[in-house]
Each structure stands twice: as C-alpha cells, then as structure tokens.
C-alpha cells in the first residue's frame, strides 16, 4: 500500500491499495474516507471544494475490476469500467451503452455509478436500474466487516460502504428503454429496465424517478397489461423537476417506457 501524505489541495492523505484486502483495510469503518473509483464525479467535487476529505482511497489499482461467470451466476467487480459492460445482455449492456460518452464510460466504474450520490441537477447512477431489475446482490465492506445484501438495501447506505462487487443470475430475458437526447455528454432523464427470470418472475426498475434507482412493484403486479402497468408505475415513484426534465414530463413518459420494456420482454421470451 502506498501512502502519499501531502497531496494538495483537497486531500489530507491519499492511499493507493494494490489488492481488495488492502482496500478494505484502508477503508476501515469508512469514517473520514472518500473513495475514488474512476473519479468522474468525486474528483470534480474535490477540485471545486464541495468536499475536503481527510483521507482519499484511490481504488484504481485494487484489483476490483473484472466480470466472472460461474454457470448462470455473473459477478462484476466494483472497479469494472462502465464501457466493459456494453457487450452484456439487456438490460445491463444497453443501459451501460446509454451512459454518457466513451471517455466517461472508460473512466467511470460500476462502483462509482452505483454509489453516486443524488445528483441534484441531474440524475446519475443509471446502472442502479439495470442491476435492481436483475435482482443483484452487493458485496461490500464497512464497520461490520464484509457482507452481502440485496442491492436495494445496499443503496440506502451506499455512502457508508466500500462496494466490492455485484452478482446476479443471468435472466431469461431483459429489456431497457430510456429517454434520450442527441448530446455527446448526455445524462439520462429517465430509464426503465426489465427482466424475466428463468423461474418466470418479472422485475422492473427505473432511474430518474427519485434520489436513486427504484423498483416498480405496482407495475410488476400489473405487467400482464402493459398499458395498465405503465399507469401503475406512477404510484411507485416520487417524480421531481431537475435540469433535464420536469416531473410533469416524466409523468407522461414513464408509462410509455414501462410499456416498451414489457413489450420487448414479451417479444424476447
């Protein structure tokens, strides 16, 4: 582990772990630690003085990148770049391809995307929707050691944990639909991911509908009728205005995206 004590201006101490174990040790219980994955969000926060951490842990050399398969189980390391997900099946591959542009996707990581704080001006953390629909579990470290939990639970406390990897069972079918704008540095105003599991369960999740990705249980319950499911999805979310779209616009477009995903899932099954 390399300690660089006097990097300025934002950080008191910078630590560069060279293994997952060193990263877990460096993170400890997380107090006063700021993690840097690809840094596309957090380095700007430091440069603009929005945060001034006493300890920065750079994860780029911690060996957390990689996609592993064990039969139908897929495990994706937190250090994997967003770009590396693009070849994967829907909803994950198309969702990753929809994140920003290639420069950001090459630099940005799965961990940074899933753990991004609420953006305020723009939604971020697009991969949350795809991984929630996949029913992913998150393995992470923190004050109680290393543990695995459903991603939904992890997201509620993601700012207290070091994410190590996410795992899910390959779905029988997946689909992704989003609002898109023709702009290179695009953020996604609204997106819906859907999955049909090998056991026949249907799961839907959305991003751009609140502080972080949300499952859409009412829409799932009404999935046999895509139009009704689209309307039902509005009961699952807390829509807001931001720099990309108004709550009104999202209210009118979320039902359409839900319908599209359900139709695509039906076609793919």
Residues near ligand FAD (CB under 6 A) are: 34-42, 59, 78, 82, 99-100, 104, 107-109, 111-113, 115-117, 124-126, 161-163, 185-188
Residue nearest to ligand FAD (CB): 112
Quote the least distance from Cβ 227 to ligand FAD, whole Å.
Answer: 28
Q: Report the b/e string of 85-121 with b at 16+ CB within 10 A.
A: bbebebbbbbbbbbbbeeebbebbbbbbbbbbeebee
Nearest to ligand FAD of 94, 230 (CB atom) = 94
Quote the least distance from Cβ 119 to ligand FAD, whole Å.
Answer: 8
Quote the least distance from Cβ 91 to ligand FAD, whole Å.
Answer: 14
Nearest to ligand FAD of 38, 135 (CB atom) = 38
Quote the least distance from Cβ 72 to ligand FAD, whole Å.
Answer: 25
Nearest to ligand FAD of 74, 244 (CB atom) = 244
Nearest to ligand FAD of 1, 172 (CB atom) = 1
- The residue among 173, 223, 213 whose CA lies nearest residue 190 is 213
Given a contact cutoff of 8 angstroms between Cβ atoms, the answer to whether 194 and 233 are in contact is no
Quote the least distance from Cβ 255 to ligand FAD, whole Å.
Answer: 22
Given a contact cutoff of 8 angstroms between Cβ atoms, the answer to whether 121 and 243 are in contact is yes
Nearest to ligand FAD of 15, 59 (CB atom) = 59
């Amino acid at each position: 582990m390399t300690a660089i004590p006097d990097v300025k201006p934002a950080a008191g101490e910078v630590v560069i772990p060279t293994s997952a174990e060193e990263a877990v040790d460096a993170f400890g219980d997380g107090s006063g630690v700021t993690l840097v994955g690809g840094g596309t969000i957090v380095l700007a926060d430091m440069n603009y003085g929005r945060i001034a951490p006493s300890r920065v842990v750079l994860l780029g050399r911690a060996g957390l990148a990689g996609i592993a398969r064990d039969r139908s189980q897929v495990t994706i390391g937190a250090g994997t770049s967003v770009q590396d997900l693009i070849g994967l099946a829907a909803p994950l591959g198309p969702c990753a391809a929809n994140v920003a542009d290639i420069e950001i996707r090459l630099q940005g990581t799965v961990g940074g995307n899933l753990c991004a704080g609420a953006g305020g001006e723009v939604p971020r953390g697009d991969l949350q929707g795809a991984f929630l629909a996949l029913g992913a579990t998150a393995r992470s470290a923190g004050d109680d050691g290393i543990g695995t939990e459903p991603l939904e639970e992890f997201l509620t406390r993601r700012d207290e944990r070091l994410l190590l990897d996410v795992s899910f069972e390959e779905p029988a079918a997946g689909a992704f639909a989003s609002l898109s704008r023709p702009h290179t540095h695009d953020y996604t105003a609204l997106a819906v991911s859907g999955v049909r599991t090998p056991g026949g369960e249907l799961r839907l999740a959305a991003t751009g509908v609140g502080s972080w990705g949300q499952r859409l249980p009412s829409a799932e319950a009404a999935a046999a009728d895509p139009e009704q499911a689209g309307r039902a999805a509005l009961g699952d979310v807390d829509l807001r205005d931001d720099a990309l779209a108004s709550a009104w616009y999202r209210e009118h477009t979320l039902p359409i995206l839900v319908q599209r995903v359900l139709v695509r899932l039906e076609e793919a099954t």
